[in-house]
Amino acid sequence: MNSLFRADNAPPPSRFNRRVSVCAEAFNPDEDEEDSEPRVVHPKTDEQRCRLQESCRDILLFKTLDQEQFSEVLDAMFELLVQPLEHVIDQGDDGDNFYVIERGVYDIVVMGVTVGQYDNKGSFGELALMYNTPRAATIVATQEGALWGLDRATFRRLIVKNNYKKRRMYETFIESVPLLKSLEANERMKIVDVLGSKQFPDGERIITQGEKAECFFIVESGEVKIMIKSKTKAGHADNAEVEITRCSRGHYFGELALVTNKPRAASAYAVGDVKCVVIDVQAFERLLGSCKEIMKRNIAHYEEQLVALFGSSMDLRD
């Protein structure tokens, strides 16, 4: 991303101070040499900090940071303005920064093929920094946009180190999720590395029928009820929601829209206090692509439930 315009006076990334990638080395945060590097601070106006905070609000990788770590991350981030067709990242390069999107649409290109897109939200560039591997995809701005960058050293010191704790916290839970049983141990660890954790108070709507899907959930604690609004059965008033099922610890929901590329087919609500593991759509595609076949088997089951309830299954398949 050599030609990107930096909105502050941050030094341009230089090939000379980039580290050479090595293959996925074992990471021991206690031995990380970057720990001794000075704290990075890019001064910001109040207005910039507001925009930055808003852009970072739903970034899952930041969800497990404590308040002090989060504010260190915000201090270290710098603003970047991008032009149409600019390559923010080139596949195969060494990883210099992690990026959070403030605005703009960005194509994800792997081996010359567009495999996905970020649309005015989300983040990218974590893989090369987490695993010391070359960039796994090219990211191209399709229009003018704005990003917030976080340098490699700060990312490793705060996020990667935190992930070490996260692994210990979630290892056993992730192993116990039936859906993830078919994955290799290191694939499950990669899921832990990118997951976020979110809490929902009693009654809060977690996903909304008809909306675009951005993530997938696994219940960590509490209970979630899945409700559908259907116009297909006589006798059900329009807009009346009907409970379809409940999910408890280890169960997942929110996968259907990601498997079928359709809007959410149901809404989900917290019953009592609920804690869920959340995986965003890009990580889902990358890490859970191999589980999609297992998830697709559920479609027949969902359809049966809908026929029983409404006399018709709605249009669940892609």
Ligand X SMILES: Nc1ncnc2c1ncn2[C@@H]1O[C@@H]2COP(=O)(O)O[C@H]2[C@H]1O
Angle at 18 between CA 17 and CA 24, to 5 degrees: 145
Please report how many Cα atoms fall inside a 13 Å half-sphere around the Cα of residue 246, on the Cβ side.
Answer: 10
**Cα distance between residue 208 and residue 41, in whole Å:** 39
**Least distance CB 102 / ligand X (angstroms):** 16
**Least distance CB 294 / ligand X (angstroms):** 19
Displacement of CA 217 from its chain's centroid (Å)? 11
**Least distance CB 9 / ligand X (angstroms):** 25
**126 forms part of the interface with ligand X (CB under 6 A):** yes
**116 forms part of the interface with ligand X (CB under 6 A):** yes
Among 188, 190, 225, 286, binds ligand X (CB under 6 A): 286
What is the side-by-side order of every strand in the sheet holding 113-119? Answer: 87-89, 138-141, 105-110, 113-119
Closest to ligand X by CB, 92 or 178: 92
**216 forms part of the interface with ligand X (CB under 6 A):** no
Among 100, 127, 153, 316, binds ligand X (CB under 6 A): 127
**136 forms part of the interface with ligand X (CB under 6 A):** yes
Q: Residue ranges for the binding site?
A: 126, 135, 255, 264
In this structure, the number of other CB atoms found within 10 A of the CB of residue 116 comes to 16
**Cα distance between residue 296 and residue 307, in whole Å:** 18
**13 forms part of the interface with ligand X (CB under 6 A):** no
**Least distance CB 149 / ligand X (angstroms):** 12
Closest to ligand X by CB, 43 or 92: 92
Smallest CA-to-CA distance from 269 within 315, 226, 238 is with 226
Region binding ligand X by CB under 6 A among candidate stretches 3-11, 18-26, 280-288, 306-314: 280-288
**Least distance CB 25 / ligand X (angstroms):** 15
**Which residue reads 């995986």 in tokens?**
279
- What residues are paired with 108 via a beta bridge? 116, 139
**Least distance CB 282 / ligand X (angstroms):** 4
Listed in sequence order, the residues at least 6 apart from 182 whose beta carbon sits closer than 8 Å to its beta carbon are: 290, 291, 294
Region binding ligand X by CB under 6 A among candidate stretches 110-118, 160-168, 178-186, 304-312: 110-118
- What residues are paired with 25 via a beta bridge? none
* Binding to ligand X, residues 138-177 (CB under 6 A): 139
* Binding to ligand X, residues 40-99 (CB under 6 A): 89, 95
Q: What is the enclosing helix (H) or strand (E) of 274?
A: strand 267-280
**Least distance CB 261 / ligand X (angstroms):** 15
Region binding ligand X by CB under 6 A among candidate stretches 36-44, 130-138, 243-251, 265-273: 130-138
3-state secondary structure of 241: strand
Instruction: Kindly state the tokens that stand for 16.
Output: 């000379």
Cα torsion 70, 73, 77, 82: sign: negative
Interaction site with ligand X (CB under 6 A)? 89, 95, 108, 110, 115-116, 124-128, 135-137, 139, 282, 285-286
